[in-house]
Structure formats: structure tokens, C-alpha cells
Amino acid sequence: MTRFALTLEYDGAPFMGLQRQGHGPSVQAAIEDAVLAITGEAVAMHAAGRTDAGVHALAMRAHIAVIKPITAFRLMEALNARLRAAAAPIAVLACSAVPDGWHARFSCIGREYLYRIANRRAPLALEKGRAWLVKQPLDADAMHRAAQALVGKHDFTTFRSMQCQAASPVKTLDRLAVRRVGAMVSIEATARSFLHHQIRSMVGCLALVGLGRWPEARIAEVLAARDRQALGHNAPPEGLYFVKARYPGEDP
């Protein structure tokens, strides 16, 4: 049996999320069904993250294990052919054989996400479904300053979904940066791991700062409240992208 690491790019719009669901399509089901068609084997795919419905990925890492003798290149080509035939908006960007002890989720030592806000009056044409449209002007500099209160080790209960299954609300946020390029405001978040809805919840509150509805100091106060009721807004999923997963021995 050979374990293969996959790097996946996908449009999350038509999926109920990455994990297999009983009530709709998922990225996991699409990959597992494609592997079954190629090898005749029912496999389980494990991924570095668990993106929600509508959330995208630029380079999600995952792994599968198959018994059939096949090279990484042939598997990647076959998977892309099957996914294309199924009209699934998923691409396998890379595939490589890895040691049996390598695990896409548990071996991961860092995850990076990107949230994109289109800050303009006009509706989205090319970016529809791939960014959050905010029509009122946003002060990205104020958002960045306020975001620094969230960097470090904290109890992120306020920014945690009620459905979150993490054992503890305490996480260490390594980086949270807000920058503007033209009409696009980008929020970059890096940590070893995140709580369910943590990034979308942080972005929603930072947007209130950018709109001038909250003072910058309010972010620190909301964090300290450790109360989901203190949350100002949860940003929609279409602006969120899983960017990168880091593993020991790989380039940062």
C-alpha cells in the first residue's frame, strides 16, 4: 500500500464543505469517488483543513492510501481526468508518495488562510462568489491596527462557532495582516490551527472597525469578553481561501 500526498485547488461554491456530507456534494466525496473509479478501492481522504460550504482552497493538502501499483504522476493525471469528467471544480496540483507515518492533518505544523473583500460600489462580475462585496469604504489601516490585538495566544471563545468541536478555545495566532491593493482588501491569517469559523468571525468584526462602526479598541474588548454574544458579525464564506499547509522538512 502506498500513501500519496495531494495538493488540491478547488472552488468551494458547489460543495457543502470539504468533508463528506450526507446531504450534499463535498470535496472529499469527489476525490474518494474518483479514486474508486481509478483503482477499484474505497479509500478515505484526510485533509489539513476542514473548509465549510462555499470556502475555497488554493493549495489544500490531503492524503490517501491505495493498494494498486501506480505512480504519483499517473494517479494525479487520472484524478484530474475523472474530476474534469464529473464537472467537479477541483484540480490536483501535485501528488507525491510519502511515508506511512505522514498525515495531512496531524503532521501539519502551520496553516495559512486568506480572506478577500472587494471594497467597491459596483457589483461583482468576475469575482462573484470569490470575494465578499462591501460597498461602503473600508479603512484597511485601522483594520490592521485593530487586528494586532488578536495576534498571540488567546482564548478565542468569542470568535468560535457554537458547533466547534475543538477541545479548547485557546489558540495561538501567529499573524493577522490587513492590506489594501486597489479595491481589494486582503486579510492574511497564519496559525498552527484555527477554531471553526474563527477567521470569518475575526474578519466580520474587523470590517466593523473598517466601516467606522467600532473603534479599534473594541476588538481587544470583544476578545477579552470570551462570549460569542459579543461577536459583531460573521463574514460570509465566499471570501475565504485555504492558502497553504506547512510540514516539517518542507520549505516555509
pLDDT per residue over 131-141, tens digit each? 999 999 999 99
Same domain, 39 and 163: no
Domain count, the chain: 2
Domain range for 44: 2-98
Q: Which residues pair with 61 in a beta bridge?
A: 7
Residue 103 inside a domain? The answer is no
Q: What is the CATH number of the domain that holds 93?
A: 3.30.70.580
Find out whether 214 and 206 touch, Cβ atoms under 8 Å.
Answer: no
For residue 124, what is the domain's CATH number?
3.30.70.660
85 found inside a domain: yes
Are 122 and 198 contained in the same domain?
yes
Residue 137 and residue 90 share a domain = no
Same domain, 122 and 73: no
User: Distance between CA atoms of 153 and 78, rounded to whole angstroms?
Assistant: 43
Q: What is the pLDDT of residues 47-99, one digit of tens each?
A: 999 899 999 999 999 999 999 999 999 999 999 999 999 999 999 999 999 99
What is the rounded radius of gyration, in angstroms, for the C-alpha atoms of the chain? 19
User: What number of other Cβ atoms are within 10 A of residue 137's Cβ?
Assistant: 12
Give a yes or no: residue 174 inside a domain.
Answer: yes
Residue 252 domain-assigned (yes or no): no
Residues annotated as catalytic (active site), given as ranges: 52
Determine the Cα–Cα distance for residues 51 and 124; give it in Å rounded to an integer.
Answer: 23
pLDDT for 136-166, tens place per residue?
A: 999 999 999 999 999 999 999 999 988 887 8
Please identify, among 64, 98, 132, the residue that sits at the C-terminal boundary of a domain: 98
Residue 105 lies in a domain: no
Q: Do residues 82 and 139 share a domain?
A: no
